[in-house]
């Protein structure tokens, strides 16, 4: 984090919202403490809420003290940072109000010497994604003319293939592709970026990273919480849109991509796009056999009642929205032909965990132990959350006579690097956009390709309302039918833990 971005104004639309309070401002404060922000830098919060500069700063101060990594920083640091925050109240869906925004930006440029460089961050409801950029362009705020003008768009980027294409087309009317940064906070996680290092910096892995040595790959993003207070939004989204189309398919691409020629944004994103283009389209038979959806049911866990999804606030009592989705998919290219990838995500599972599990093929001849364990090959686990690190499961001899074999763990945790600071996902991604590095942001063509892959599933569920929707008890690992996806005798998903912890949030991996 030694390189500093150029002087600029970061304009956050939706600045009175939860994302700004819990994630964006705390992450920017962490950058400030590490002296990674531009020399001349202003954050301009924009929203309808009637804050003054001072009341906005007071609210953000509370967020910093609660959610920043450096929440215990010196008071002088907090005071110095808060001076960088300004606020403007406008009606963000009225084009005429943007003249006031333009005047405010010009005033800040003059007083703070920010040189006309602007980054616009859309932390707004998705219905404003087409409007805000258009209104900015009407004021000429999209024009670079030797200056930097960038646009950050939060997910969801569209709700289906058609809407994603439409949104891309609308943005590209006024902005070049290299001005647009489509946010996926999963890509900012340190272990996600470490996938590339693990693969391409270690000679022991890359020769094995193909169909000849890997039996199958599973990718899990599990949450122990339910929909909380997001029932109204989630009931129109579901697990497939909320997690699979973006987060999980991005992880598939990082695991499966070919090595880029250089470590540059376009080179990496080109290789990821090739993976999306090689995803085997889901045929009608696949929609029945290789896609499992579920919905969590009420249950009692450790004496505590957990309500079912249809009991949640804002959810239709007859809802058929999935809170769990699992898919078996294939990548039709030279490296991965015939290797199944299994992805799953769900709410109200036993723990919050995100991980990638590489199952290597077993030794061709089983000399040791139970013949039933012939399929029990080595396993490499890339842990993305919560305990970031890498785990390799390998067979070792148990001391004593004979050749009894036992699985042993070769385990690395980022937390063991006690003198190493691991930045949050938003901290890394915000710094990257200020620097103009789009490597960890999704490109428009890639977004369209991922929607193209999942669209047949959405169409199938829409056309067949009676298609199976399996109930699963809160606190379980989802519908038991998902176990049947995994190919091979005595094979199933990796289960990091079996039961909910006492607080219902986390259990040891």
What are residue 358's phi and psi, to 5 degrees? -100, 115
Please answer whether residues 104 and 134 qualify as being in contact, where contact means their C-beta atoms are separated by less than 8 angstroms: no
Q: What is the number of other CB atoms lying within 10 angstroms of the CB of residue 430?
A: 27
Q: 215 catalytic, yes or no?
A: no
Instruction: Tell me which DSSP letter residue 364 carries.
Output: S
The H or E element containing residue 381 is: strand 379-385
CB 142 within 8 A of CB 104: no
313 within 8 A of 229, measured Cβ to Cβ? yes
Q: How far apart are CA 82 and CA 44, in angstroms?
A: 11
Say if residues 353 and 229 touch (Cβ distance below 8 Å). no
Q: Which DSSP string do the residues of 387-429 spell out, in sequence order?
A: S-EEEEEEEEEPSSSS--EEEEEEEEEGGG-TT-----HHHHH
Among 185, 215, 216, 247, the one annotated catalytic:
247
User: Contact 423/30 with Cβ under 8 angstroms?
Assistant: yes
CA dihedral 238, 240, 242, 245 (to 10 degrees): -160
**Rounded Cα–Cα distance for residues 129 and 155 (Å):** 10
The one-character DSSP state at 485 is G
- Secondary structure (3-state) at 383: strand
List residues with catalytic annotation.
Answer: 247
């Amino acid at each position: 984090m030694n390189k500093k971005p150029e002087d600029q104004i970061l304009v956050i639309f939706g600045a009175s919202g939860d994302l700004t309070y819990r994630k964006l401002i705390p992450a920017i404060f962490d950058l400030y403490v590490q002296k990674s922000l531009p020399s001349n830098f202003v954050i301009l919060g924009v929203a309808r809420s009637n804050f003054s500069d001072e009341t906005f700063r007071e609210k953000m101060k509370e967020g910093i003290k609660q959610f920043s990594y450096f929440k215990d920083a010196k008071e002088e640091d907090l005071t110095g940072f808060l001076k960088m925050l300004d606020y403007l109240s406008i009606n963000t869906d009225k084009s005429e109000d943007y003249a006031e925004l333009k005047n405010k930006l010009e005033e800040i440029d003059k007083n703070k010497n920010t040189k006309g460089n602007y980054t616009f961050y859309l932390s707004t409801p998705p219905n404003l994604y087409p409007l805000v950029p258009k209104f900015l362009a009407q004021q000429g705020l999209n024009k670079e003319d030797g200056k930097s003008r960038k646009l950050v768009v939060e997910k969801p980027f569209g709700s289906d293939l058609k809407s994603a294409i439409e949104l891309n087309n609308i943005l590209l009317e006024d902005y070049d592709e290299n001005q647009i940064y489509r946010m996926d906070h999963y890509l900012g996680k340190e272990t996600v970026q470490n996938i590339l290092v693990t693969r391409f910096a270690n000679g022991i892995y890359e020769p094995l990273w193909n169909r000849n040595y890997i039996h199958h790959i599973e990718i899990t993003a599990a949450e122990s919480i339910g929909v909380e207070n997001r029932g109204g939004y989630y009931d129109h989204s579901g697990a497939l849109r909320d997690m699979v189309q973006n987060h999980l398919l991005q992880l598939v691409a990082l695991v499966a991509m070919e090595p880029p020629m250089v470590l540059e944004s376009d080179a990496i994103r080109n290789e990821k796009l090739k993976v999306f283009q090689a995803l085997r389209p889901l045929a009608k038979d696949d929609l029945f056999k290789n896609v499992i959806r579920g919905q969590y049911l009420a249950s009692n866990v450790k004496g505590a009642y957990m309500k079912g999804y249809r009991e949640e606030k804002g959810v239709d009592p007859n809802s058929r929205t999935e809170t769990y989705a699992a898919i078996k998919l294939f990548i039709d290219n030279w490296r991965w032909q015939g290797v199944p990838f299994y992805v799953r995500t769900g709410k109200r599972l036993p723990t919050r965990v995100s991980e990638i599990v590489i199952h290597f093929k077993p030794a061709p001849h089983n000399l040791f132990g139970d013949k039933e364990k012939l399929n029990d090959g080595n396993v490499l686990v890339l842990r993305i959350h919560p305990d970031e690190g890498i785990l390799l499961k390998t067979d070792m001899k148990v001391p004593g006579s004979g050749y009894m074999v036992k699985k042993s763990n070769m385990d690395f945790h980022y937390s063991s690097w006690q003198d190493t600071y691991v930045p949050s996902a938003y901290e890394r991604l915000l710094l990257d956009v200020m620097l103009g590095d789009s490597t960890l942001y999704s490109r428009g063509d890639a977004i369209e390709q991922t929607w193209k892959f999942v669209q047949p599933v959405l169409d199938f569920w829409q056309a067949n309302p009676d298609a199976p929707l399996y109930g699963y008890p809160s606190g379980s690992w989802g519908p038991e039918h998902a176990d049947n996806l995994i190919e091979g005798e005595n094979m199933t998903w990796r289960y990091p833990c079996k039961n909910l912890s006492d607080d219902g949030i986390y259990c040891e991996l």
